Amino acid sequence: MVYLDNSATTPICNKALETLVKYSSENYYNPSAIYLQGVSVNSDIESAKQTITNALGVKYNNNLIFTSGATEANNLAILGAYRKSFKKMLFSVGEHPSVYNVALELKKRGVDVDFVKLQQNGEIDYIDLENKLNKEVSFISIMLVNNETGAINDIHRVFELKNKYCPDAILHSDGVQAFGKIKINLDFLGVDLFTVSAHKIFGPKGIGALFVKNKNLLNPIIFGGGQEYGIRSGTENVGAIMAFKSAVDDFGNIKDNYNHVSKCVDAFLGELKTINCLINSHHSPYVLSLSFCGINGETLVHMMEKRDILISRGSACSSKKSGNRILENMGLTNEQTLGSIRISFSKNTTIEDAIFAGKTLYECYNELKDRLK
């Protein structure tokens, strides 16, 4: 089987799996316990935080809060930062559902929420952002890499615009599809809050983290024993946390991985040269969105599945909903949206896999076109 839906999830790597088992069956102690074994496990968690913050380009590990995943981390970033004094909150219309739907919920509750448009290439519209920034804006959330298209937003530019018009506003970025795939330096990006997840980088599901530059920015949204600096209560998922660390340790060279994946994309697209398809965005090589006119994308997904190649229509979190909010806001027609698919590569994708998948997609497309004649 050729797996090309890595934006949805990745298989846990051997190193992370071994760590998960070790901390679930041997070093299973509660990190809040005061005896030696608990203290030791708590120290291990601190080392995991250091590893992850180092990968984020910052050195201070006491600014990382572990959560049950990116959805909780995004909810914590937004709802934990929200104050009644906030006058306006800005979000990209292209955000992941775990951000976008929180914004809609806040709007439903009477909060002044506005959305920044997308350009045709999938990036946010920086002119629209600038037009909507003013001293009333208290919170901004713009993702770094889009999970549907791979479009990369210039968060440092967003940071500079924020400082120009609303320097006191809190800046959050969902970095799930960027972490481990492109070089990140949070000090340069200028974010106050940044979300990462383990299962997108060959770690386990059920563990994510939120970087918080200043912990005073957040109020808890889960209450209990006061773990994670009193911001995210609940006994720490030690096995998953340590497996997350192992997955980060197993990154390899990000630049080399990026170049390899870029070659995979080129090899894949090389097999589709004679097909009339639209490349919706091609920024991060890890995510490739294509549209086929006159073809149903879901049909293509199932045809590829029967040939042991797994791709997707788009975000797994939106797979049961009709339409595609991201593509529609990029200006794609209904036909182009209906005919869209997402192919997402990983550092473990081989050139041979990419060529085979491209050839197979070419065959499936032509077979489907013949049926529709």
The CATH number of 2-9+253-371 is 3.90.1150.10
Query: CATH 3.40.640.10: which residues of the chain?
Result: 14-249
Residues constituting the chain: 373
Report the candidate in 318, 371, 369 with the shortest Cα–Cα distance to residue 339: 369
pLDDT in tens, the chain (373 residues): 999 999 999 999 999 999 999 999 999 999 999 999 999 999 999 999 999 999 999 988 789 999 999 999 999 999 999 999 999 999 999 999 999 999 999 999 999 999 999 999 999 999 999 999 999 999 999 999 999 999 999 999 999 999 999 999 999 999 999 999 999 999 999 999 999 999 999 999 999 999 999 999 999 999 999 999 999 999 999 999 999 999 999 999 999 999 999 999 999 999 998 888 999 976 999 999 999 988 999 999 999 999 999 999 965 554 455 579 999 999 999 999 999 999 999 999 999 999 999 999 999 999 998 887 7
| Whole-Å CA distances, 204 to 18, 119, 233, 366 | 11, 34, 20, 38
- What CATH topology corresponds to 14-249? Aspartate Aminotransferase; domain 2 (3.40.640)
Active site residues: 317
Instruction: For CATH 3.90.1150.10, list the domain ranges present in the chain.
Output: 2-9+253-371
Integer angstrom CA distances of residue 148 from 5, 318, 319: 11, 10, 11
What's the whole-model pTM score? 0.96
Query: Long-range contacts made by residues 254-258, C-beta under 8 angstroms, separation at least 24?
Result: 254/180, 254/181, 254/182, 254/183, 255/183, 257/181, 257/347, 258/181, 258/182, 258/285
Tell me the angle at which helices 70-81 and 97-108 cross, rounded to the nearest 10 degrees.
30
